[in-house]
Amino acid sequence: MIKEVTTTAGPVDYLIHSAGVARDSLLISHSAQDIQDTIATNLMGTIWVNKAVAKGMMRRKKGAIVNISSVVGLQGNTGQSVYSASKSAIVGFSKSLSKELGSRGVTVNVIAPGYIDTDMTSSIPDARKKDIATRTSLGRLGRPEDVAEAALFLAQAKFITGQVLVVDGGLVL
């Protein structure tokens, strides 16, 4: 995938890596396949894509990586133990990678979104969404553009690395 991008568009200077699946269920109800799929998509996908762009960024001595985690990866949530594990691992991975790439002029940061109105949250019942929205300081769920603006900020910030920016409207305070 990265090779195809660089062939058509040139080198990757900025990576915003946002891929994730959530299979909400208590751990004892998860199948082995559900667990493997969640870890493969959320964590291993992040690792492989970061690895694919890191060498070129290091060679050019510039670049920014922003990996998308989740507030669930920071605080946990009932029925999301596997999802939480995969998203918290992204935080540890990104902090370590920021130390590996920093001396080469590459920043690595994380965004931990709260509840964002996307396909992933579309199956949450409206009453639950309303409850979540009332628990945020801003009184609403996030929008994709809220996360995009934060990602753009981190991608352009030359002296911020190894950090986690929570974008949740004040849900987790």
Identity at 54, one-letter amino acid code: A
| Domain 14-167 = CATH 3.40.50.300 | no
Show me where the domains of the chain are located.
14-167
Spatial separation of the C-alpha atoms in residues 134 and 140, rounded to whole Å: 7
The whole model's pTM is what? 0.93
pLDDT in tens, 20-41: 888 888 898 999 999 999 999 9
The percentage of residues in the chain with a pLDDT greater than 70, rounded to a whole number, is 100
pLDDT in tens, 93-137: 999 999 999 999 999 999 999 999 988 888 888 999 999 999 999
Sign of torsion over alpha carbons 72, 76, 79, 85:
positive
| CA proximity to 153, closest of 5, 14, 6, 20 | 14
* Residues identified as active-site: 83
CB 160 within 8 A of CB 109: yes
Sign of torsion over alpha carbons 96, 101, 105, 108:
negative
Question: Has residue 1 got a pLDDT over 80?
Answer: no
pLDDT of the residue at 12: 94
Q: Residue 143: left (phi > 0), alpha (psi -120 to 50), or beta?
A: beta
pLDDT of the residue at 170: 96
